[in-house]
Structure 1
Amino acid sequence: FTAPIVASFSSKEPNPITQDLLKPNITAPGVDILAAWSNAAPVSMDLLDKRVVDFNIISGIAMTCHHATGAAAYVMSFHPDKSPVAIKSALMTTDAYPLDATLDGNEAAELGYGAGEINPFKAINLGLVYDTNVDSYINMLCSQGYNETFLRLLTGEFIVCSSNLSNNGVWELNYPSIMVIGKVSEPFLAPFPRTVTNVGPAKST
């Protein structure tokens, strides 16, 4: 195969919990990663395995977390005043490399790429970002039916969901992607309000 493609064991849509929120956000390296390996830990999960190595080749969707986190930290080092949400938005929208689902013969893999392959060097120039705040995420969770007990576990605060919340809280989250689950051959209306903030030069194209 021609790299990059998404591994067959990678998590793909639809998101079983919040279907109208596109996951994953973005693609990062996660297969055959040469990783540092502490001598305090064995090479396998077998309790009888006492072997230790300095490095190991490991694969898995969790391996991409380290690369995405490192890329976010890299971009944030240039913009320490920007929110984590703005940094994620820049990584998703600023020239991520588009991927081709036909490379592995699985067009459904399109829903496993997110915004494309991560490109932290281009994301340094934030440009337009989709920023949001904690209240917006709380409203989204409330619209999904989460109760005060769950919200308190998540936020550490006692939060009462408003009774006049829209049922379309996921669509209204100022998120840098849009997705809607619909039924084949049935018309639907899905408004996605978004607000972009220019954090680049005032005079730019």
Structure 2
Amino acid sequence: MQPDLTAPGVDILAAWSEAVPLTETEDDTRVVSYNIISGTSMSCPHATGAAAYVKSFHPTWSPAAIKSALMTTAFPMSSENNIEAEFAYGAGHINPALAARPGLIYDAGEIDYVKFLCGQGYSPKQIKLITESNTKCSEVMNEAVWDLNYPSFALSTTPGDSVTRVFHRTVTN
């Protein structure tokens, strides 16, 4: 489910082009250098800054390791205050201070994603297009979607049915 995380994105004081009216209407002649803005355009820079902050503590970490640190240390969000529940905010609200020292992390490299794509039935041509690698599925062990070393887990079933699934993950310190 997406998104994996939430970040500040509502009522953010941000730089504003003086070429654009304050209210973005033709009859508004006011010119300002800053405006209060909301949306993913405001949330994304916060998440990017948090990732850069974590990277400054762990310069050798992969993007997957940094994402894991952000996800596993996020503040859980209450479904009482968020009617969309976890389908709207994933692991929770980013907490950069905790993410800098997460303890254990889930890491994944290119070969992990190639195995995942092979397990999903991608052709060698499709894999090369995505990864720019000549790796063939016959050279790696195929993995199913639930085997990708990723910090979130998902499983669906029909109402009333019982289901059991073992998720394999590797964590590193």
TM-score range, shorter chain: 0.7 to 0.9
Q: Does 1:195 align with 2:170?
A: yes
Measured in 1, the distance between the counterparts of 2:41 and 2:110 equals: 25
How far apart, in 1, do the equivalents of 2:36 and 2:76 lie? Answer: 27
Residues in 2 aligned to 1:85 and 1:187: alpha-carbon distance in whole angstroms: 32
Q: How many residues align?
A: 170
| CA RMSD across the alignment | 2.7
Q: Which amino acid aligns with 1:151?
A: I
Paired-residue identity, %: 51
Secondary structure, aligned partner of 1:101 = coil
SS of the aligned residue for 1:57 comes to strand
Q: Which has the higher helix share?
A: 2
Aligned residue in 1 for 2:130: 154
How far does residue 79 in structure 1 lie from its aligned partner after superposition?
A: 1.2
The aligned counterpart of 1:102 is 80
The whole-number CA distance in structure 2 between the counterparts of 1:134 and 1:49 is: 53
SS at structure 1 position matched to 2:40: coil
Structure 1-normalised TM-score? 0.71
Q: TM-score, normalised by structure 2?
A: 0.83
**Paired residue for 1:171?**
146
Distance 1:26 1:141 in 2: 24
Contact 1:31 1:58 in 2 (8 A): yes
The separation in 1 between residues aligned to 2:27 and 2:109, in whole angstroms, is: 47
* Stretches (4+) displaced over 4 A: 48-52
Unaligned runs of 5+ in 1: 1-21, 199-205
5+ residue gaps in structure 2? none
